[in-house]
Amino acid sequence: MAEVTAPAKVKKPSAINKRKNPIYMAFIYVICIFLLIICLFPFWLLLVNATRSSIEIQTHAVALIPSKYLQNNMNVFKGKDFNVLVGFKNSLIISASATILAVYFSSLTAYALTAYEWKLRDGFFGFIMGVMMIPGQVTAIGFYQMCYKLHLTNNQLMLILPSIAAPMMVFFMRQYLQASLSMEIVESARVDGAGEFYTFNMIVLPIMKPAMATQAIFSFVGAWNNLFTPMILLTKNEYKTMPVMVSLLKGDIYRTEYGAIYLGLFLTVLPLIIIYLLLARYIVAGVALGAVKG
């Protein structure tokens, strides 16, 4: 009697074959290009409006072709005490210093919460989480009164030093270390005679590069765009940051120069784009590392 064989199963096309389909790939490229245009469109409008006059902006809110009033908008800065170089210098000093301090000391605190066993560790972490829930506006009045009584109202250090305490960054760094740091590496360094700060600076920090790059972008953007604290602390023109200078462009009660405002906003956003482009590869590396470990 002949053996009855089961019908062969029809194999479904794999994901790899699907990706090789030219129609499928064309569809993916179209979607990506469409999303790219959506993301870049606000920046293009910002650049275009920076070259237009106030009358053009009020008459036609949206335009895709640059105009010829860029130099006129730059001349408005001279009458408004808007010094681009001074604003860039102050914003860069404050943002870069605040970012370096926040990232380093947050990483150091997260390392202490991860690598060491001590009695009040969980309580200390809970205290950090509690501080993270307090809005910054609640402490603004007390912070200003302290700076005023200490005669530090026109001192950039008061915008830099408080960045050492960054509860949200500590939480993020701690979560990253718990997933990526192997204590065997730390123990090996201690056996070899390495000090604790040497172990942290030379072994732990390189492991945390993707997390540090991600938090550095957020910290730099937050410090650069900070308007409220610099506005109440910095009263002299030589200490004002770019966001404060841009906000002062709207102070004319007779006429608002929208073109100059858009130009100031574009100059304010430009360094943020550059910082993101410089640190983007570390973020991508961190995402890829997390996917491989997962």
Tens digit of each residue's pLDDT (9 = 90 or more) over 163-208: 888 888 888 888 888 888 888 888 888 888 888 888 888 888 888 8
Structure tokens at 278: 């410089």
Please tell me whether residues 146 and 269 are part of one structural domain: yes
If 0-12 CB within 10 Å is exposed, 13-18 middle and 19+ buried, where does residue 173 land? buried
Please tell me whether residues 163 and 265 are part of one structural domain: yes
Please tell me whether residues 71 and 83 are part of one structural domain: no
Please tell me whether residues 185 and 247 are part of one structural domain: yes
Long-range contacts of 185-189 (CB under 8 A, 24+ apart): 186/115
Identify each DSSP E strand in the chain by its residue range.
none
Say which residues have a Cβ less than 8 Å from residue 264's Cβ, sequence separation at least 6: 77, 82, 242, 245, 246, 249
Structural domain ending residue among the three candidates 14, 42, 75: 75
- Residue 289 covered by a domain: no
CATH number for the domain that contains residue 107: 1.10.3720.10
Q: Which H or E run contains 168?
A: helix 167-180
Our count of domains for the chain comes to: 2
Domain hosting 195: range is 79-284
Please tell me whether residues 85 and 173 are part of one structural domain: yes
Check residue 293 and give its pLDDT.
47
Amino acid identity of 44?
W
- Residue 294 covered by a domain: no
Check residue 14 and give its pLDDT.
55
Check residue 102 and give its pLDDT.
93
Task: Check residue 41 and report its DSSP letter.
Answer: H
Please tell me whether residues 16 and 47 are part of one structural domain: yes
For the four alpha carbons of 222, 209, 129 and 125, in that order, the dihedral sign comes to negative
Please tell me whether residues 177 and 160 are part of one structural domain: yes
Please tell me whether residues 71 and 99 are part of one structural domain: no
Task: Check residue 150 and report its DSSP letter.
Answer: T
Task: Check residue 149 and report its DSSP letter.
Answer: H
| Segments of the chain scoring below 70 in pLDDT | 1-20, 251-255, 282-294
- Residue 214 covered by a domain: yes
Please tell me whether residues 48 and 122 are part of one structural domain: no
| pTM greater than 0.85 (yes/no) | no
